[in-house]
């Protein structure tokens, strides 16, 4: 094996590296091998291939790529590049929003009593959402309110005119920009369909006009699909608060039945969480020779059950094959999104059962046990039993890796607000003040996938370390969080050691880690809510645009990440993606996304493969925003005037109803 094939280079994670090296000896293939073998198509990679009609595919390369190069229909390179990009946004928006639609249906079925296994658990959150939607809730039965909330949100999918309900949650000034440039989203489905329509053969050919529709679609994702999904998941399963758990492959137990939930949807996984602790089921596992049932997660289904129940995570996207290779997984059940079909074939080399459970997704070679919200418990029991029944088939084959790290997750925006002032006076004042005083230089959302085309999770780790060293507070989601978790960065102890002095002081005073795990990828909507709250709190920007805040997805691979990047850009956040640019073939399109969007919305979308440059650009954006807001110049270790921060003791006093000390910096 050459150096290129060494496990260490393929993943930055030592535990993953061990399994990859073992797989090489065993001649088992992983996504890392396939990524090496299958170089990206250089034409498609930069967005220069059009296949929306059968006069093509038209590949605008070589001679074709000169200034006048056009497809058979006459479409220019910039048109083709923009069109391809808008289709990525539409794809990503569909994924989040179709997931959200199912969440709304589950809420409705729970409220009407049709889905007997689901109940409204967080009434406070339900009332909050009802309040936003203008639904009367006082003195009414909880389920009636739930039904109305579900029906109102459902209208946002098929809405033909007007605006999405949640548009009104954005700061007024941000909404004004959307109106001015015509990107206020109408219905979620409508925006996706219009994007698909405008990018078919012979419709919209103006790159800027196309990308504007792309942004409108992305906003329907962020302030629609994603936000709806986070809200309803909170209503049904509880709003997260900090919880301890563990990450990496060492979460699997040699002497227990190991079952993984993988994918994105929380509904069935929530019921599985209940079923695995059912004493009768535990007895059944014992009857098969296991000491108990151990539930773990992967990707975003993992994030959902981690946030609410502390279920451990085996990590993000590129860990899915490696998890099976531990030889310890008795069953892995998958719903939708980011599931490599490769796991079905791979599982045949082990005893692992791959069980698909969504009506929408089947994989050849997997067992299908279809989930229906009306009989969720039965489905969950069948799956757990299958895992238990498979335990006796476990062989010794596998790379039994035992590394694991403790972590803290569960930072909902509600909790972040609470920890800055207790349940009586929660606010974003301390955070805004810390930013104003220069203790915290800025905030970065570190999100998105991990990717076998780079030393996987390595870019996340590098940026996480460097940013907190530079006093930048990190909010993380999705596989970005998993990358930090499997690196051991999600405990206050580890991260505080790395953090710059100002950030460290603030985190110690409030009692938070410098990297806050906010949840799954739909929970990026929580970042929008936090940014909105910071704008409302005052002292920084009055809109999301202009905040010393940046979004980074250094290892992205999914269309969903593109949709997310674009909704942040349209909401006013400069965003930097790693990897090669999918719009790299057109300077015109790149300029629209970095310059024109910034002028209009104060947000932008860059593609930059070099992690050092990503870091430099992020800090440059943050410092420029600080300058524009006339905030104190950031200097490491030097802060504004000393004032009293709210510490844990003071917060407890407030919770008891005591006086609130002067808070601020």
Question: Of the candidates 296, 553, 286, which has an alpha carbon nearest to the alpha carbon of residue 445?
Answer: 553
Ranges of H-type helices in 427-477: 429-437, 458-469
Entry field: residues in the chain = 665
Question: Which stretch, 44-52, 126-134, 257-265, 616-624, contacts ligand SF4 (CB under 6 A)?
Answer: 44-52
Cβ 77 to ligand SF4, closest distance in Å? Answer: 10
Stretch that binds ligand SF4, among 55-63, 121-129, 440-448, 510-518 (CB under 6 A): 55-63
Residue 193's binding partner among ligand SF4, ligand NFS, none (Cβ under 5 to 8 angstroms by kind) is none
- Taking the least distance from each CB to ligand SF4, the nearer of 8 and 201 is 201
Q: Which is nearer to ligand NFS, 130 or 521 (CB)?
A: 521
φ/ψ bin of 139: left (φ > 0), alpha (ψ from -120 to 50), beta (otherwise): left
Q: How far is the CB of 69 from ligand SF4 (least distance, A)?
A: 10
Sheet-wide strand order for 515-519: 515-519, 472-477, 442-446, 549-553, 574-577, 604-607
Residue 77 found at the interface with ligand SF4 (CB under 6 A): no
73 binds, among ligand SF4, ligand NFS, none (CB under 5 to 8 A by kind): ligand SF4
The number of angstroms, rounded, from the C-alpha of 179 to the middle of its chain's C-alpha atoms is: 27
Q: Confirm or reject binding of residue 467 to ligand SF4 (CB under 6 A).
A: no
86 is a contact residue toward ligand SF4 (CB under 6 A): no
What does 72 bind: ligand SF4, ligand NFS, none (CB cut-off 5 to 8 Å by kind)? ligand SF4
Is 53 a binder of ligand SF4 (CB under 6 A)?
yes
Q: Quote the tokens at residue 355.
A: 């069980």
The separation between the first and the last C-alpha atoms of the chain, rounded to the nearest angstrom, is: 57
Among 75, 281, 366, 416, binds ligand SF4 (CB under 6 A): 75
Among residues 61 and 73, whose Cβ is nearest to ligand SF4? 73
Closer of 59 and 96 to ligand SF4 (Cβ): 59
Taking alpha carbons only, the member of 239, 223, 89 closest to residue 153 is 223
Residue 278 in tokens: 């059912």
Does position 51 interact with ligand SF4 (CB under 6 A)? The reply is yes
Question: What is the SS3 assignment for 57?
Answer: coil
Q: Give the orientation angle of helix 611-628 with respect to helix 458-469, to 10 degrees.
A: 40
Q: CA–CA separation, 119 vs 111, rounded Å? A: 7
| 75 contact choice in ligand SF4, ligand NFS, none (CB below 5 to 8 Å, kind-dependent) | ligand SF4
List 20, 58, 126, 522, residue binding ligand SF4 (CB under 6 A) = 58
Shortest CB 207 distance to ligand SF4, Å? 14
The CA distance from 252 to 315, in Å, is: 12
DSSP state of 646: P
Tell me whether residue 214 or residue 438 sits nearer to ligand SF4 (CB atom). 214
Strands 549-553 and 574-577: parallel
Least distance in Å: CB of 335 to ligand NFS?
Answer: 11
Distance CA 13, CA 486 (A): 8
Beta strands (DSSP E) in 200-292 are 243-247, 257-263
Per DSSP bridges, beta strands 405-409 and 243-247 are antiparallel
Residues 538-597 that bind ligand SF4 (CB under 6 A): none
Helix (H, G, I), strand (E, B) or coil at 181: coil
Q: Which of 40, 41, 55, 180 touches ligand SF4 by CB under 6 A?
A: 55
Binding site partner of 479, from ligand SF4, ligand NFS, none, Cβ cut-off 5-8 A by kind: ligand NFS
Residue 561 binds which of ligand NFS, ligand SF4, none (CB < 5-8 A, kind-dependent): ligand NFS
Q: Name residues contacting ligand SF4, limited to 187-246 (CB under 6 A).
A: 201
User: Distance between CA atoms of 517 and 519, rounded to whole angstroms?
Assistant: 6
The partner in contact with residue 521, picked from ligand SF4, ligand NFS, none with C-beta cut-offs of 5 to 8 angstroms by kind, is ligand NFS
Contacts of 274 (CB under 8 A, 6+ apart): 377, 380
Least distance between ligand NFS and beta carbon 452 (Å)? 11
579: CB partners within 8 A, 6+ apart: 451, 453, 454, 555, 556, 557, 607, 609
| Residue 507 contact among ligand SF4, ligand NFS, none, beta carbon within 5 to 8 Å by kind | none
Contact 627, 488 (CB under 8 A): no
Which residues of this chain interact with ligand NFS, rule CB under 6 A?
264, 299-300, 316-317, 338, 448-449, 478-479, 520-521, 558, 560-561
- Given ligand SF4, ligand NFS, none, residue 448, with its beta carbon under 5 to 8 Å by kind, binds ligand NFS
* Residue (99 or 504) nearer to ligand NFS, CB: 99
Residues of this chain that interact with ligand SF4 (CB under 6 A) are 50-53, 55-58, 71-73, 75, 80, 201
């Amino acid at each position: 094996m050459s150096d290129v094939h060494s496990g260490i280079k393929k993943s930055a994670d030592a535990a993953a590296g061990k399994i990859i090296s073992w797989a090489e000896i065993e001649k088992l293939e992983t996504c890392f091998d396939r990524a090496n073998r299958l170089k990206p198509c250089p034409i498609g990679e930069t967005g220069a291939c059009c296949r929306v009609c059968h006069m093509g595919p038209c590949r605008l390369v070589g001679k074709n790529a000169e200034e006048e190069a056009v497809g058979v229909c006459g479409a220019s390179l910039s048109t083709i590049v923009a069109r391809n990009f808008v289709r990525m946004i539409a794809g990503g928006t569909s994924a989040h929003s179709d997931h959200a639609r199912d969440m709304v249906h589950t809420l409705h079925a729970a409220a009407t009593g049709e889905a007997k296994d689901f109940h409204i658990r967080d009434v406070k959150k339900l009332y909050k959402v009802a309040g936003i939607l203008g639904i009367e809730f006082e003195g009414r039965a909880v389920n009636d309110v739930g039904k109305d909330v579900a029906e109102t949100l459902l209208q946002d999918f098929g809405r033909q005119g007007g605006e999405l309900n949640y548009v009104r949650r954005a700061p007024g000034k941000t909404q004004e920009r959307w109106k001015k440039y015509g990107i206020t989203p109408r219905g979620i489905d409508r925006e996706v369909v219009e994007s698909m329509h405008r990018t078919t053969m012979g419709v919209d050919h103006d790159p800027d006009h196309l990308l504007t529709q792309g942004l409108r679609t992305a906003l329907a994702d962020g302030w629609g699909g994603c936000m709806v999904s986070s809200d309803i998941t909170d209503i049904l399963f509880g709003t997260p608060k900090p919880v301890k758990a563990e990450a990496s492959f060492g979460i699997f137990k040699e002497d227990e039945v190991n079952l993984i939930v993988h994918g994105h949807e929380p509904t069935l996984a929530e019921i599985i969480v209940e079923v695995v602790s059912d004493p009768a089921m535990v007895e059944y596992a014992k009857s098969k020779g296991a000491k108990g049932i151990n539930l773990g997660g992967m990707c975003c289904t993992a994030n959902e059950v981690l946030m609410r129940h502390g279920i451990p995570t085996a990590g993000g996207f590129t860990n899915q094959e490696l998890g099976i290779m531990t030889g310890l997984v008795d069953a892995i059940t998958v719903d939708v999104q980011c599931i490599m079909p490769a796991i079905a074939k791979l599982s045949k080399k082990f005893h692992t059962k791959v069980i698909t459970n969504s009506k929408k997704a089947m994989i050849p070679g997997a067992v299908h046990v279809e989930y229906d919200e009306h009989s969720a418990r039965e489905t969950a029991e069948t799956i757990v039993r299958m895992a238990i029944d498979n335990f006796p088939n476990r062989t010794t084959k596998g790379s039994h890796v035992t590394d694991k790290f403790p972590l803290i997750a569960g930072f909902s925006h509600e909790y972040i607000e609470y920890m800055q002032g207790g349940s009586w006076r929660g606010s974003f004042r301390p955070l805004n003040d810390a930013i104003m005083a220069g203790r915290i230089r800025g905030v970065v959302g570190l999100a998105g996938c991990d990717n076998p085309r780079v030393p996987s999770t390595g870019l996340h780790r590098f940026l996480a370390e460097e940013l907190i060293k530079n006093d930048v507070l990190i909010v993380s989601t999705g596989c970005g969080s998993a990358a930090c978790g499997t690196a051991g960065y999600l405990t206050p102890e580890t991260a505080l050691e790395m953090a710059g002095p100002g950030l460290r002081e603030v985190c110690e005073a409030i009692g938070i880690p410098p990297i806050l795990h906010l949840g799954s990828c739909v929970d990026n909507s929580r970042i929008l809510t936090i940014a909105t709250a910071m704008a409302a709190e005052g002292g920084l920007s009055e809109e999301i645009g202009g905040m010393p805040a940046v979004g980074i997805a250094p290892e992205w691979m999914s269309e969903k990440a593109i949709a997310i990047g674009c909704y942040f850009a349209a909401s006013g956040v400069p965003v930097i993606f790693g990897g090669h640019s999918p719009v790299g073939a057109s300077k015109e399109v790149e300029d629209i996304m970095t310059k024109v969007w910034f002028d209009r919305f104060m947000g932008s979308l860059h593609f930059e493969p070099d992690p050092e440059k990503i870091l430099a650009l992020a800090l440059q954006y943050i410092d420029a925003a600080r300058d524009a807001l006339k905030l104190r110049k950031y200097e490491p270790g030097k802060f504004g005037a000393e004032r009293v921060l709210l510490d844990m003791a003071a917060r407890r006093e407030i919770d008891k109803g005591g006086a609130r000390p002067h808070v601020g910096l």
